[in-house]
Amino acid sequence: DAGVIQSPRHEVTEMGQEVTLRCKPISGHDYLFWYRQTMMRGLELLIYFNNNVPIDDSGMPEDRFSAKMPNASFSTLKIQPSEPRDSAVYFCASTPWQGNEQFFGPGTRLTVL
Amino acid sequence: SQQGEEDPQALSIQEGENATMNCSYKTSINNLQWYRQNSGRGLVHLILIRSNEREKHSGRLRVTLDTSKKSSSLLITASRAADTASYFCATDGAGSYQLTFGKGTKLSVIP
């Protein structure tokens, strides 16, 4: 298995632009998580899905952020409009069941100018 | 708020020495996990210890858990330069299986 796949690996955009981050979880994993990592705040859970259904999005910073999981093999995290304070590394992770180890993707480094 | 907090924030040791990192948390947990992150990479799971376990070993790793003190420690024995990375503890609280991560300990192993 190729592991969790994220794209793009790096994204540089200008303030106000829409940004879409993509994730392909490991096949058979029922849970998918989106995290954001910054020096100041560390690793924060944004949202997680179970069987493609969003379970808890309380970590999503504001309405500019949205996430979808249209099927078991694909999820997106969208920021519209983007702001410089959104600059961070965004990780996607998956796991076959709750309470188990999570498998992380390589992350997307987002820079908003 | 962060559930787990690692201590120290940074640690520098010579190759061959042992490295000990500590994690404290605030509320009851189901499991505590340790992850490693190499610079510019995603997190990699190292070991999971359940709330009813006190100690667990995996290769050169030894993890202890003291639920009465709400703390855990990760010991890496006979460290290698390749162990240079940031180490995070993550907890999932009673009634919730979402992981909450600490800010990590940055370990540097000098050859």
Structure tokens at B74: 């990760």
Structure tokens at A35: 């995290």
Instruction: Return the closest-CA partner of residue B10 out of B82, B83, B87, B106.
Output: B106
Enclosing H/E stretch for B49: strand B43-50
pLDDT at B2: 46
Is B97's CB within 8 Å of A99's CB?
Answer: yes
With 0-12 / 13-18 / 19 or more C-beta atoms within 10 angstroms meaning exposed / middle / buried, residue A108 is buried
pLDDT at B95: 63
pLDDT band, residue A100 (cuts 50/70/90)? confident
Report the share of chain B in percent with pLDDT over 70. Answer: 93
Structure tokens at A81: 């409009």
Among B45, B88, B104, the residue with its CB nearest the CB of A101 is B45
Instruction: Return the closest-CA partner of residue B13 out of B84, B89, B87.
Output: B84
Name the minimum distance, in Å, from the CA of B43 to any CA of chain A.
Answer: 6
Phi/psi of residue B83, nearest 5 degrees: -80, -10
With 0-12 / 13-18 / 19 or more C-beta atoms within 10 angstroms meaning exposed / middle / buried, residue A6 is buried
pLDDT band, residue A2 (cuts 50/70/90)? confident
Is B42's CB within 8 Å of A102's CB?
Answer: no
Tell me the per-residue pLDDT of A41-57, one tens digit each, with 9 for 90 and over: 899 999 999 999 999 99
